[in-house]
Amino acid sequence: QSTAPMPNDALYQALGAKPGLQALMEVFVAGLKADPRIGVQFKDTKSSYLQEQLVDQFCVVSGGPCKYEGADMKAAHKGMDINKAQFNALVEVLQVAMDARNIPFATQNQLLARLAPMHRDVITAH
């Protein structure tokens, strides 16, 4: 009865915990830079920096024991005029990266469901 609630890190574990997220973000950021639709928006991005931010953010989002210290999503994407098609392109690049890392479809969908609400802060153009 007095047991403290266990943090639910099932999704984090399914993603392979920290090493799994690091490997995934390496593939993801490389895919973003190479993407014909949105690659240009990441041309000045330092891959190692963005990967680190994304590892921490996805760790938190999936219930892992991390702290995300980057900008909130609204501030991070302010002035970028990101539209829905660009947002969807990023999601596709993430799906391709998750496939490449052999992440099960159900796990993929759970992660995407937790990222989806961020569209409100990221998309600022039509």
Site of interaction with ligand HEM (CB under 6 A):
38, 41-42, 44-45, 49-50, 53-54, 57, 70-71, 76-77, 80, 82, 86-87, 90, 115, 118, 122
Q: How many residues does the chain have?
A: 126
36/44 with CB nearer ligand HEM: 44
Shortest spacing between CB 108 and ligand HEM, in angstroms? 14
Contacts for 75 with CB less than 8 Å, ≥ 6 apart: none
6/111 with CB nearer ligand HEM: 111
CA distance 18 to 55: 7
Shortest spacing between CB 32 and ligand HEM, in angstroms? 8
Cβ atoms of residues 86 and 41 within 8 Å: yes
Shortest spacing between CB 37 and ligand HEM, in angstroms? 8
2/91 with CB nearer ligand HEM: 91
Q: What is the DSSP letter of 41?
A: G
14/54 with CB nearer ligand HEM: 54
Tokens of 17: 């915990």
Shortest spacing between CB 7 and ligand HEM, in angstroms? 21
CA distance 25 to 94: 9
Tokens of 46: 């330092």
